[in-house]
Chain A
Amino acid sequence: MSVVLDPADDDLLAGSLTSPLSSIEIPTGRPGDPVGTDTGTRTPDPESRPLVLRQLRPAPRREILEHGYDPVRQVATDLEGRPLLPDLKKDWTTIEGTHTDGDGGDNEMWEWEEVK
């Protein structure tokens, strides 16, 4: 069983720029209008496009197991309440997003990873 996480979740684009703990916060735009999100239909002008955005690729979009959380053992579980960890060996497991490893900051990789 699996679910597809929506890579357009709010905090994917925010990442480390909006840490809920740091005293410093780089604004990412008004609520509902985050920087980096354009739901319009305007086609980008290739000449004015920032260089780094000129060869975009679709963000990784993976499926993860449907899961629960055991608040007593404090670990994720399957839907029967068994800890997920033993079943995740060598599986792609992690989370979501466009905020990939190497982006810098404190929340730099909501990319998939393997857990032994």
Chain B
Amino acid sequence: MTVLVLAREFDPTADAVVTVLGERGVPVFRTDLAAFPTHLRLDARLAGGRWTGRLWNAHHAVALEEIRSIWNRSPATYRFPDTLTAAEREFCYREAKLGVGGVLAALDVLWANHPNRCADAIFKPYQWKTAADCGLAVADTTITNDIDTARRFVSDTPHATITKALGPSGITEHDQVQVAYTRRLTDADLTGTVGVAATATTLQRFVPKAFDVRLTVIGQDLFPVAIHADSEDARVDWRCDPAALRYELVAVPDPVAEAIGRYMKRTNLVYAGFDFVVTPAGEWVMLEANTGPQIGWLEAATGAPLTDAMATLLAKGTT
């Protein structure tokens, strides 16, 4: 039984997990979806209500019925030759997605994580509601394009409110790639009416913070890592100042661990990266749950065996 790893060719975390699987004698078939259709071949046959066949490239092959698990590790997308017209490439992309993705989706294997579960969970409003239903504390939030609603939420304490992007926060302007990190509102943000009205604007109570926690769930294993920020900006959003961060493994309170278990079950995820704020009073407030978290940086910083845990999860597969 083989682990199918869908990852880009340069991905050190994937390399680490593939290496551990190899050391354990677990067969691995790794490919990037950008290899399809030029270097990756698919032969999928439906007979007797069951998909059989194989995936192969010049060096490896895997029978579809021999796949025990699939690691959906942020592969690049299908790549088509420039000899096709743009319309042809668009058509081919659609067919590749529905064909390759469709056959893989039809396999009764463990996905880490299933692409459609990831797609469901991309919506932060859904995450927050689900988390609350499962017993996790979440911050009060408003999503609005109405300035009066925004002003009521902010009241007279704009510095106790943050604004954040609900999705990818990078944009390219004037050929410069820039990132919008979570930040506190300023008095100037609500003096006009147009900014809030520009789109669905997310406002959230700033949660008093002792430290952040990135809690990685891999199967049944929890790896809660405290992130201590030594700069003011990083205390609001630790992503913006990596040099100012310190890490340590911490204990997760039992009620939080139990709520996370309920969240994972309800969302049908097998691994995730939860971001929490831990308040000075010790309350854990969930900010979000990422369905394709990076793990190598936390392992390097703390020694926590995340690579081994991921290899174990994938090797176990569907039981």
The answer to whether A111 and B15 touch (CB under 8 A), given A8-B175, A13-B168, is no
B122 contacts which of A55, A75, A105 (Cβ < 8 Å)? A105
Chain B residue with the shortest CB-CB distance to A49: B195
Asked whether A57 lies within 8 Å of B240 as measured between CB atoms, the reply is yes
The answer to the question of A47 belonging to the interface, with a C-beta cut-off of 8 Å to chain B, is yes
Partner of A104, one of B75, B76, B166, B182: B166
Closest to A105 in B: B122
Identify A103's interface contact among B11, B118, B165, B287, CB under 8 A: B165
Q: Mark A26-56, 1 if CB is under 8 A from B, else 0.
A: 1000010000111111001101111111111
Indicate which residue in A18, A52, A61, A74 contacts B169 across the interface (CB closer than 8 Å). A52
Q: Is B250 an interface residue (CB 8 A)?
A: no
Main secondary structure on chain A at its contact with chain B?
A: loop
B19 and A85 contact, CB distance less than 8 A: yes
User: Inter-chain contact count A-B, CB under 8 Å?
Assistant: 281
Residues in A43-80 with C-beta less than 8 Å from chain B: 44-45, 47-61, 64, 67, 69, 71-76
> CA–CA, A26 to B78, complex, Å?
17
How many B residues touch the partner, as a band?
A: 35 or more
User: Does B116 contact A107, Cβ atoms closer than 8 Å?
Assistant: no
Chain B residue with the shortest CB-CB distance to A31? B86
Stretch of B52-60, B132-140, B260-268, B311-319 that contacts chain A: B52-60
Q: Which residue of B lies closest to A109 (CB)?
A: B294
A115 to B97, CA, bound (A): 31
Distance between Cα atoms of A50 and B193 in the complex (Å): 10
Known A-B contacts A105-B291, A106-B113; the reply to A36 vs B183 at CB < 8 A is no
B residues within 8 A CB of A108? 273, 290-293
Tell whether, in the assembled complex, residue B19 and residue A23 are in contact, meaning their CB atoms are under 8 Å apart: no
B177 within 8 A of A: yes
Please tell me the number of chain A residues within 8 Å of chain B, measured between CB atoms: 80
Contact A52 B180 (CB under 8 A): yes
Docked-complex contact A115 and B13, CB < 8 angstroms: yes
CB closest chain-A residue, reference B190: A51
Contact with A along B98-118 (1 / 0, CB 8 A): 001100110000000101101
Please indicate the chain B residues that have their CB under 8 angstroms from the CB of A102 in the complex: 182, 237, 239, 275, 287-288, 290
Q: Which residues of chain B (140-176) have a CB below 8 Å from chain A?
A: 163-176
* Given A11-B76, A52-B165, A111-B239, A116 and B195 contact (CB-CB distance below 8 Å): no
Judge whether B202 is part of the interface by a CB distance below 8 angstroms: yes
**Complex CA distance for A47 and B190, rounded to whole angstroms:** 9
Q: A20-B75, A64-B10, A109-B293 are in contact. Are A58 and B198 (CB under 8 A)?
A: no
Give, as a whole number of angstroms, the nearest-CB distance from A64 to chain B. 7
B194 near A48 (CB under 8 angstroms)?
Answer: yes
State whether A75 and B179 are in contact (beta carbons under 8 Å apart), knowing that A21-B104, A23-B119, A108-B293 are contacts in the complex: no
CB of A3, distance to nearest CB on chain B (Å): 10
Instruction: Tell me the B residues contacting A by CB distance below 8 Å.
Output: 5-6, 8-13, 15-16, 18-19, 22, 28-30, 33, 57-60, 72, 74-78, 86, 90, 96-97, 100-101, 104-105, 113, 115-116, 118-124, 127, 163-183, 185, 189, 192, 194-196, 198-199, 201-202, 237, 239-240, 242, 273, 275, 287-288, 290-294, 296-297, 299-301, 303, 307
Give the top 3 A-B pairs by smallest Cβ distance, nearest first.
Answer: A98-B170, A106-B118, A114-B300
Between A and B, 6 residue pairs with Cβ closer than 8 Å are A18-B77, A56-B179, A56-B180, A107-B74, A115-B300, A116-B300
